[in-house]
Amino acid sequence: MLTYIIRRFLLALLTIASISVLSFAIIQLPPGDYVTAYIAQLASSGVDVTPEFAENLRQQYGLDSPIYVQYFKWMEQIARGNFGRSLEWQVPVLTIIGDRLWLTMAVSISAVLFTWGLALPIGIYSAVRQYSIADYIFTFVGFIGLAVPSFLLALILMYLGFRYFGANIGGLFSPEYLQADWSPAKVWDLIKHLPLPALILGTAGTAQLIRIMRANLLDELRKPYVITARAKGMSEFRLILKYPVRAALNPFVSTLGYLFPFIISGSIIVALVLGLPTIGPLLLRALVAQDMFLAGTIVLFLGILTVLGTFISDILLMWIDPRIRFERRE
Amino acid sequence: MNSAPILTVDNLKTYFFTDEGTVKAVDGASFAVQAGKTVGIVGESGCGKSVTALSILRIIQRPGRIIDGEILLRRVDGAGKSSEVDLARLDPEGGEIRAIRGGEIALVFQEPMTSFSPHYTIGNQIIETIQLHQDISKAEARNRSIELLRMVGIPRPERRIDEYPFELSGGLRQRVMIAMALSCNPRILIADEPTTALDVTTQAQILDLLREIQERTRMSVIIITHDMGVIAEMADDVIVMYLGRVVESGPVDEIFHQPKHPYTQALLRSIPSIFAEPRSKLPTIAGSIPHPHNRPSGCPFHPRCNERMAGLCDVYAPRLLPIGERQMASCFLYHEPEEAPQA
């Protein structure tokens, strides 16, 4: 089992290395570079730019050397913990990403917790009481949740919040904490602000997971081991939680790794609407401005987090399902 | 021995209410199980054998429901006074029936491959059963589980107990299943096709094991099978079912040597015999089991019966009535119709 984990870990490292190449390639894909974008911006504001000026800028940023040289320079710097400077903001990339990364994780994790906390019990109930009135209601509400775009939901909730409670519900902090240093009070303020984005970002996923849980559990409930357990005289509640639900959890855990990037890329519009200081809008802007070090670092981070998430979900799966544990041993 | 039976099933009707119509899986089955004896229930697939077993334990799943009949379980208390409880009247999720399930009546299932959950060790699943019915510590339950595994012939039970079901062969798994069923000293063991999924040598071992355990514990066994060979080897009394009804019942010798019902006779004819002429065709029962939504009128067997009497068998429904001292059959070859034609 240990060898399996080590092997998975080495594979994860290899995957991360390939991701770094890919993310570098992706940010190089659009025609032009940061200087092109910067000059276009200057030109549009009426400043004349000479070709010499552009050439100087390119040399300054190292944009004139071949692409693979640029990649290795980038990697070399990253290995030293230097992720480069944002071309647009003129500060180290890490300074910009810093807090945003943690806030993004806080938002994502609370959205996942919200999703699971709601979807698992409802999915279980819907399966156990299949075709009951409550099952139909959950199905109906679930499909609506799936169909409504989350940014629209965000707009509606913001409107309702403002109209009836006079509260501005955007953002992750109250104004007085926005610039404040981290303190227990600020963390509490963040926690108070988290439920709403969690609800908005989690609604579609919840509806989806309810359907998945319901379908999985319906399959499991028909398996003979459920009849065996029933024939032992177990109570229905304990039986269902111990046997079929555990089996139905597998697909949840195995998709854990994809949740994180999914929530980030799916949440850009919502984050813009709600004014959330998360990674999504930053990535969008960096891509538009061809701010290559910033965009590259964000893409790289997302890739690493996905690989890590998959690694964790693999280990969790081994813990949940002994069959996987034994297959791997061979 | 003429003592009162330990379990009496009387006119049991279990129907499944599906969108396509009502399926009468068990339609008026009656039989009795004597203490310490083995009853064999035999019949083709779909005749209601398994549904009868599940009905006794009250674990029929929706859309199935017991709509009529009694299932009387007799208990004798310390003072020798006997009392009866009608399982058909109990709340299927209530505490009383749950104490009986696995405690007084245990089930061995036909699928040793899938009747354990792959997520827990066999020890976990046996210990759980014991602790459900007996107020003992986990360590005691574990020791008892190891003893049970040893009793059913699992080698090195103290190590096997921590293994997962998928690490065991089909035969071993069925032994574990039997150990789990025996864990609370049930008075009745229902074995639903316990050997169907096993190869022939393993089948014989499992049947030997069941018989040996029964001799030791004096419990009653209901063995459900489609295999007349299993019946001959195991049963004291035999119940032959066809389309949810009991068509014939009696002691095993009478059933094998003087079968009365044409269906029983046909079943016995279709057993391969080593005395048969080589390359001769095995006799079969003409036709196949009717679709459950399309039950024949009158006697359910009449379309396949080679002794059917037109105007009688296809109009009137025969009842299970005594023939001779201990045998019963539901067939107009032996009884006159006594009721009005079925609608």
Residue B3 in any domain: the answer is: no
DSSP reduced 3-state for B308: coil
Backbone Cα Rg of chain B: 21
Contact call for residues B70 and B11 (beta carbons, < 8 A): yes
Residue A317 in any domain: the answer is: yes
Counting the structural domains of chain B, the total is 1
Residue B173 in any domain: the answer is: yes
Task: Inform me whether the pLDDT recorded for B314 exceeds 90.
Answer: no
Residue B155 in any domain: the answer is: yes
Task: Inform me whether the pLDDT recorded for B248 exceeds 90.
Answer: yes
Residue B52 in any domain: the answer is: no
Instruction: With beta carbons under 8 A apart, name residues in chain A contacting B129.
Output: 232-233
Q: What per-residue confidence (pLDDT) applies to B125?
A: 94
CA distance A198 to B338: 73
CA distance A284 to A276: 14
Nearest to B93 among A223, A236, A246 (CB): A236
Q: What per-residue confidence (pLDDT) applies to B340?
A: 55
Residue A285 in any domain: the answer is: yes
Task: Inform me whether the pLDDT recorded for B343 exceeds 50.
Answer: no
Contact B117 A321 (CB under 8 A): no
- Kindly identify which residue of chain B lies nearest to residue A129, measuring between CA atoms: B62
Residue A308 in any domain: the answer is: yes
Residue B290 in any domain: the answer is: no
- Computed over every residue of chain B, the mean pLDDT equals 87
φ, ψ of residue B233 to 5 degrees: the values are: -75, -35
Instruction: Read off the pTM.
Output: 0.80
Distance (Å) from the alpha carbon of A127 to chain B's nearest alpha carbon: 13
Residue B145 in any domain: the answer is: yes
Q: What is the dihedral of CA A153, A157, A159, A162, to 10 degrees?
A: -160
Counting the structural domains of chain A, the total is 1
- Computed over every residue of chain A, the mean pLDDT equals 83
Contact A228 B109 (CB under 8 A): yes
Strand stretches in chain B, DSSP E: 7-18, 21-33, 38-42, 64-76, 82-86, 105-108, 188-192, 220-225, 237-242, 245-251, 321-323, 327-329
Q: What is the CATH number of the domain that holds A312?
A: 1.10.3720.10
- Kindly identify which residue of chain B lies nearest to residue A221, measuring between CA atoms: B61
φ, ψ of residue B28 to 5 degrees: the values are: 90, 45
Residue B102 in any domain: the answer is: no
Nearest to A323 among B54, B99, B166 (CB): B166
CA–CA distances in Å: residue B162 to residues A322, B115, B120, B126, B144:
12, 17, 9, 11, 14
Residue B178 in any domain: the answer is: yes
**A236 Cβ contact partners less than 8 Å away, ≥ 6 residues apart:** A230, B93
Domain span at residue A126 reads: 93-329
Q: What per-residue confidence (pLDDT) applies to B339?
A: 60
Distance (Å) from the alpha carbon of A241 to chain B's nearest alpha carbon: 12
Instruction: With beta carbons under 8 A apart, name residues in chain A contacting B93.
Output: 235-236
Task: Inform me whether the pLDDT recorded for B316 exceeds 50.
Answer: yes
B93-135 pLDDT, tens per residue? 888 899 999 889 999 987 777 889 989 999 999 999 999 999 9
**What does the block give as tokens for A127?**
């399966």
- Kindly identify which residue of chain B lies nearest to residue A246, measuring between CA atoms: B119
Q: Does the structure's ipTM exceed the value 0.85?
A: no
Domain span at residue B171 reads: 115-185
Instruction: With beta carbons under 8 A apart, name residues in chain B contacting A228.
Output: 107, 109, 115-116, 177
**B98 Cβ contact partners less than 8 Å away, ≥ 6 residues apart:** A233, A234, A235, B132
Contact A233 B93 (CB under 8 A): no
List the single best residue of A217, A225, A243, A323 to mutate versus B (max B Cβ within 10 A). A225
Q: What is the mean pLDDT of residues B11-25?
A: 88
B115 touches chain A (CB under 8 A): yes
Contact A233 B101 (CB under 8 A): yes
Instruction: With beta carbons under 8 A apart, name residues in chain B contacting A245.
Output: none
Q: What per-residue confidence (pLDDT) applies to A330?
A: 45
Task: Inform me whether the pLDDT recorded for A85 exceeds 80.
Answer: no
